[in-house]
Amino acid sequence: MSLAGDRRLRILNLLVRDGGIEPETRRICNVSAKVTGMTGAGIMLMSDDVPQRSICTTDSVASLIEQLQLTLGEGPCVDAHNLQRPVLEPDLAQPARARWFGFAPPAVEAGARAVFGFPIRIGAARLGALNLYRDEPGPMGDEQHAEALVMSDVAAEAVMLFQSNAPPEMLAAELEAGDGLHYLVHQATGMIAAQLEVSVGHAMIRLRAYAFANDRPLREVAQDVLARKLRFHPESGENDPGS
Amino acid sequence: MTMTNSTESPMPREAVLAGTLVQLADSLVADFDVVDLLTVLVDRSVEVLSVDAAGLMLVAPDGDLRVMASSSEMMRVLELFEIQAREGPCLDCYHSGRPVVNQDLEASHGRWPRFTLEALAAGFQSVHALPMRLRGSVIGALNLFSHEPGELDQADIVAGQALADVATIAILHQRAAAEAQILNEQLNYALNSRVVIEQAKGMIAERAGLNVEEAFSILRNHARNHNLRLVEVARDVIEGTLAASALDQPQTAKPS
């Protein structure tokens, strides 16, 4: 059997053995971090070059890394998906080439010192990306890189397998298992569109801009909008707490 | 080693065959072109099996055999494939799922009258067909032609079948990639549908002064009453072509 075949078999063994009550997607994230020797991992589904939903993360830092990319539309997994190649940043605090001006500072502050994105795809079908991070700076070893490539293929097959059992036009239950961030954000976007009498696209930009300007997580801001603690006003452009 | 080794001692056939199989396996990567790959395969079949022409025929969705790749672009050779949609060794091989080998054309007039005439006119004396099998079904055949009446020995048949099997794997691989593409489109559709429905819930909640669960039951109720899909109603709401106030109110939403 080839080297890649050996890796694959070992990864599949880990996925089966580490069974238990955890959702399958969470297990894939855990094994991704384990085989690549990283601190944590997350998997983002993307469509139309936009991050759509995080289906699993191993820990709160990995979760923040995905949330930042959902909020800002930039970061290692967004680039890995758009460029269709691995994107490696061994030193996020002092990168050789400055990039991700919105993403990098809060990610470093949370403890992500090195981040790596690997596209998740099958043939020409582009599904999203695997996010990996380490709490220490430093490059990825050849061995770790090879593991990450095989792992992203396994993740792609898993996503396809989940979705192939889903009813038509529905997202597979396994892929819905991620946190509820996305629902809240999209619901809040609909409310803001009604408040401002603008398109949902425009409303989404306003919501993200508000979260970024006030240095608050997108989820929190969305929750405030849904709880009617925060309204957007068309004229002033200012936002104040609802009565 | 020179490029032309025909006058020198040729590479052992096993070495050429092994090299071919490795090359074909290496080609099975993302975005490979299946016709290019099958063309390499028929060219190598000519080389490895010491025949004069080779072609690959696949069964089309309508059940007819169609030529997918040929080592020769000569009209007469191509016509030999065309004829086999109706009669010939490829068709017999496809129907039986077994190799049809060492067919002496001088003796096969009765079996394939039109094919035999055309093949002899094109200068061929013997013909073979090896099945492309997949889990009990046959998807096509590898067709081999020789100017000489000589026979394929057992080793040739095994080698030819190995090449036909690789071609089968290549085609399956490509079909799996095509299926993945369709599944990906469905996934994208499901992801986007979800977004649109959540946005519509928020918009209805805001306009009607409801929470999102109440907004959703209005949306779902309207879709059911009008026999529309949820995502269609949601899209009309967020695009403004359907006012939130125009949605049917569910009975359960009546104040008690």
Q: Is 0.85 exceeded by the ipTM?
A: no
Q: Please list every residue in chain B whose beta carbon sits closer than 8 Å to the beta carbon of residue A84.
A: none
Last residue of a domain, one of A122, A142, A172: A172
Domain B181-253 has CATH 3.50.50.60: no
CB-CB under 8 Å, A182 with B207: no
Q: What is the mean pLDDT of residues A22-28?
A: 79
Q: Please list every residue in chain A whose beta carbon sits closer than 8 Å to the beta carbon of residue B193.
A: 169-171
Burial class (CB in 10 A: 0-12, 13-18, 19+), A44: buried
User: Which among A47, A163, A195 has the least Cβ separation from residue B183?
Assistant: A163
Question: Structurally, how many domains does chain A consist of?
Answer: 2
User: Which among A45, A160, A172 has the least Cβ separation from residue B180?
Assistant: A160
User: Which among B188, B206, B231 has the least Cβ separation from residue A47?
Assistant: B188
Phi, psi of B126 (to 5 degrees): -140, 155
| B74–A contact, CB cutoff 8 A | no
Residues A232 and A141 in one domain: no
Task: Give the pLDDT of residue A205.
Answer: 86
Residue B102: count of CB within 10 angstroms of its CB: 16
Q: How far is CA B187 from the centre of its chain?
A: 22
Residues A153 and A98 in one domain: yes
Q: 3-class SS at A204?
A: helix
- Whether A135 has a pLDDT exceeding 60, the answer reads yes
Task: Give the pLDDT of residue B174.
Answer: 78
Q: What is the mean pLDDT of residues A106-113?
A: 96
Residues A131 and A198 in one domain: no
CA distance A197 to A186: 16
Which domain CATH number covers A164? 3.30.450.40
Query: What is the spatial order of strands in the sheet that A114-122 belongs to?
Result: A50-57, A40-47, A125-134, A114-122, A87-89
Name residue A33's amino acid.
Answer: A
Predicted confidence (pLDDT) per residue in A202-214, tens digit = 998 899 889 888 9
Residues A156 and A198 in one domain: no
Which domain CATH number covers A232? 1.10.10
From the list A184, A170, A193, the residue with the least C-alpha distance to A217 is: A184
Task: Give the pLDDT of residue B256.
Answer: 42
Do residues B208 and A191 touch, judged by C-beta distance below 8 A?
Answer: no
CB-CB under 8 Å, A163 with B207: no
Residues A151 and A223 in one domain: no
CB-CB under 8 Å, A186 with B204: no
Residues A118 and A11 in one domain: yes
Residues A164 and A209 in one domain: no
Task: Give the pLDDT of residue A18.
Answer: 60
Do residues A213 and A202 touch, judged by C-beta distance below 8 A?
Answer: no
Do residues A14 and A36 touch, judged by C-beta distance below 8 A?
Answer: no
CB-CB under 8 Å, B188 with A200: no
Arithmetic mean of pLDDT over chain A: 87
Last residue of a domain, one of A126, A143, A172: A172
From the list B82, B72, B58, the residue with the least C-alpha distance to B144 is: B72
For chain B, the domains span 13-177, 181-253
Residues A200 and A160 in one domain: no
Higher pLDDT, A47 or A16: A47
| A183–B contact, CB cutoff 8 A | yes
Per-residue exposure over A47-73, b if at least 16 CB sit within 10 Å of its own CB, e if not: beeebbbbbbbbbebbbbbbbbbbbbe
| A125–B contact, CB cutoff 8 A | yes
User: Which among A125, A171, A190 has the least Cβ separation from residue B184?
Assistant: A125
Q: Please list every residue in chain A whose beta carbon sits closer than 8 Å to the beta carbon of residue B30.
A: 121-124
CA distance B24 to A5: 18
Do residues B237 and B244 touch, judged by C-beta distance below 8 A?
Answer: yes
- Whether A238 has a pLDDT exceeding 60, the answer reads no
Residues A232 and A203 in one domain: yes
- Whether A23 has a pLDDT exceeding 50, the answer reads yes
What domain range is A64 assigned to?
3-172
| B202–A contact, CB cutoff 8 A | yes
Residues A42 and A144 in one domain: yes
CA distance A111 to A131: 15
Per-residue pLDDT band for A85 (boundaries 50, 70, 90) equals very high
CA distance A98 to A229: 37
**CA distances (Å), A227 to each of A215, A236, A243, B202, B210, in order?**
19, 22, 11, 11, 11
| B158–A contact, CB cutoff 8 A | no
Q: Per-residue pLDDT tens, chain B, 256 aa: give them.
A: 334 444 445 567 777 777 777 777 666 665 667 788 888 889 989 988 889 999 999 888 888 888 888 888 877 787 888 888 889 999 999 999 999 988 888 877 778 888 998 889 889 999 999 999 877 778 899 999 999 887 888 888 888 998 888 888 888 777 777 777 788 888 888 888 888 999 999 999 999 999 999 999 999 999 999 999 999 999 999 998 888 888 887 655 444 4
Domain B13-177 has CATH 3.30.450.40: yes
Task: Give the pLDDT of residue A178.
Answer: 61
From the list A87, A147, A66, A82, the residue with the least C-alpha distance to A121 is: A82
Residues A113 and A232 in one domain: no
Burial class (CB in 10 A: 0-12, 13-18, 19+), B248: middle
Residues A153 and A59 in one domain: yes
